[in-house]
Structure 1
């Protein structure tokens, strides 16, 4: 392949290569050799995977030529949209100059230094250090190690327990899955590991009862205080949470929740960890979800939007208060072969420059975001099949309900959501089913016209499900 080709030319080559095999041939090879994440292999292989061949902007194309609106940004990743040649060029330049070297053994390299400095510039005040990983899961594993090392270095090695939330998601490694509150993940692998505790999630629609959202936000936050006192403050190291729960169903906490969590962490002197893997790099309309809620964390896990998914890279942003202790405590015996991979760092740095220089987050927040929110609410606030219609930044979600007046959900809501997801795919829209919610998180570059297309497709699909259920 000619490395000087532009994106359109590269896409043509990709199409020709894909054309060398039929969709059925790709599917057969996939079934024969590829285990997919979070999948029933037998069921998937019987049905056949959809083969995605190329992408541009907010769109994907499959091997049958279908143009698909990707309202999930891949997996919450592709914040700047597909097809940005600058990132491909950054990877190519770096591969020619230094394709790999590690950051062990007293060495560094320009891409990791430049990215670290850029992150310190973008991050909230006091976040001047970063530890690199390859994913958010590895980042949250690193958090466990770092938090326990921090307290041991201060002479309090018994402070090991990290408190998380039911239905939170912090990755699929043993440590990350333990921090997460997904019971179906805990059932495989005898999880969680010791030293992890969970409290109620701040989901007013499901758990709030007769309380107002503000009252329930305080109640849910104070579950943390109860758990700290139950475990003993001398044993509790930290609390971790996503500013907005993503994989749990786009759970947007009441306005009172995070200020009370902050008060409790401050009062009892435990570390506050913000999992920014999904919220970070513009998803909430701010660089970080912590900034949206006014949280003052000690550690922030990052990934996904860090490179817009163009390269696998993650990390932990470390506040100066923690970094000073870690730096003065001798060896921190943790790391990965690809920590700070030069190509991934070069691509991530270019991605951040694009976000910053093109004011993508500001433009999204000031223009398309409020417009898309209004479209979403106009489409679904009075829809007969859904309730709990929610928007924040470029998060969009609805919950399938049987009786809106009583907030009564379907007994088989999860099955209905999966049916809705399939309807979406049949209509060339990627949305995600999570429990009984339908959720989406499109690229931050989505235009007004694309927002109209997205919401129109989403309504078409939910209308189709409603007709199947006799609700329209």
Structure 2
């Protein structure tokens, strides 16, 4: 049993620092009034705030702390590497032992054969790198016009200029002058929302693939370079693909020689009950981006895995130009790589993937129970990630007006009941640390159920529902 980290009361300086941070994904005006919720410690699946209150971290931080918040082996791995070599880079023929070993390990674990691993610091950077490599690749093989990239509505691929363009969420584009030219979006494969009356999942999947093909043909197949997709669209509302979706989409991509980039930033390393979401949903990508649970979130690190077809072109083109002129100072940082290696060892030694498979049925049962609540239209789940979509009417599937804030209120009440989670639009997401056990799952579900009951009272009192 891991000892919990010491809970330290924040100093005046820490409070001041929190007050002066520019907080991401936050209503900055509201934040000036409410301030920061300061988290000071962690213990397994729980975190502890400045007042000593414990919470189940229902999103594993940001879908990333797969081993929880008190894994001493990861701390020790960082300390060992700090003492041995605190920093070195991978530029100009240099390397470090942890980066070399981690690259080898990732290629061995990859769901399909991959040739090289390129390290960065975040999922956004890994996906941004994928865009650059796709353009570089097509220039190198004499296809300078084949540059457009297709993503999906409600996708989430990051926040850099390129990766935020791939993201298919309006607030990531609005007033940022995004998306950039050449990034296109096809329909979201959300059967509950976008399926037609009487349409089966398989028929809906066919329609999604047909729309993708129609988009490619409108743009010109010789101009479309790649397609990006998450196995499960987590930040877009935990959208689980309909049956046969990826099988049909991949047939379209192969038909027009379009690369497939699988964004495994959230789904990778056990979350869906396999090492990769690509294995869960039958995806055979040309590139794979990973991050988050790669180090169980204890250090910032990401990687882009590329297949041999692309890698051989990069090698030849760098010989022609004299250099492969792309990279990050901290890419493959030896401390981050050492922590990631230790995380992968723990996943294997403790059979975390097997553990997820064993407890996932209990999690699915709990999510189904929450799905029966009067406010929930659809409860979606894959492995240990789930989404609860709020509706004001189960029959019509009508969502609440945005200003009603019912899902957001449920998220606030969850915090009062000892669970940290958040509403992403109309969907309340749950993605606990992968070490969660069945008793803790039951506890999580019961607390969320109380929050839903509170939200129902709130909705009734304000006239948002009439039942």
TM-score, normalising length from structure 1?
A: 0.94
Could you tell me whether the CA contact under 8 Å between 1:417 and 1:438 is conserved in 2?
yes
Match of 1:320 among 298, 308, 329: 308
Could you say which residue in structure 2 is the equivalent of 1:225?
Answer: 213
Contact kept? 2:367, 2:445, Cα under 8 Å: yes
The structural deviation recorded for 1:189 is 1.9
5+ residue gaps, structure 1: 1-5
| Counterpart secondary structure, 1:328 | helix
Q: Contact 1:274 / 1:290 at 8 angstroms: preserved in 2?
A: yes
How far apart are 1:38 and its partner, in Å? Answer: 1.5
TM-score (norm 2): 0.95
Give the corresponding residue for 1:3: none
Q: 1:354 to 1:7 in 2, by over 3 A?
A: closer
TM-superposition CA deviations, 1:330-375 (whole Å, max 9, x none): 132211101110000000010011101211111211x211111112
2:386 to 389, 396, 411: 396
Cα deviation for residue 218 of structure 1 reads 1.4
| Whole-angstrom CA distance in 1 between matches of 2:17 and 2:90 | 37
| 1:346 and 2:338 correspond | yes
Offset, 1:215: 1.4
CA separation in 2, counterparts of 1:329 and 1:425? 53
Partner of 2:242: 254
Structure 2 counterparts to residues 373-452 of structure 1, below 5 A: 373-377=364-368, 379-412=369-402, 415-452=405-442
- Which moves more between the two structures, 75-84 or 120-129? 120-129
Alignment of 1:18-167 (within 5 A): 18=9, 20-21=11-12, 26-31=14-19, 33-167=20-154
Which residue, 169, 172, 175 being the options, matches 1:185? 172
- Equivalences for residues 205-284 of structure 1 within 5 A: 205-210=192-197, 211-284=199-272
Aligned-partner Cα distance in 1 for 2:306–2:156: 20
Contact 1:424 1:458 in 2 (8 A): yes
Q: CA deviation at 1:157?
A: 1.4
CA distance in 1, matches of 2:415, 2:15: 17
Instruction: Please tell me whether the aligned partners of residues 290 and 304 of structure 2 are also in contact (alpha carbons under 8 angstroms).
Output: yes
Retained in 1: the 8 A contact 2:271–2:356? no
Counterpart Cα distance in 2 of 1:121 and 1:86: 23
Paired positions, count? 457
Deviation at 1:381, TM superposition (A): 3.5
Distance 2:62 2:251 in 1: 33
8 A contact 1:413–1:436 mirrored in 2: no
Give the C-alpha shift of residue 26 in structure 1: 4.5
Contact 1:135 1:303 in 2 (8 A): yes
1:452 shift after superposition: 0.6
Please tell me whether the aligned partners of residues 27 and 48 of structure 1 are also in contact (alpha carbons under 8 angstroms). no
Structure 1's consecutive aligned runs of 4 or more residues displaced over 6 angstroms after TM superposition are: none
1:302 to 290, 301, 312: 290
Q: Which segments of 5 or more consecutive residues in structure 2 lack a partner in the other structure?
A: none
Aligned equivalents of 1:173, 1:90: Cα separation in 2: 30
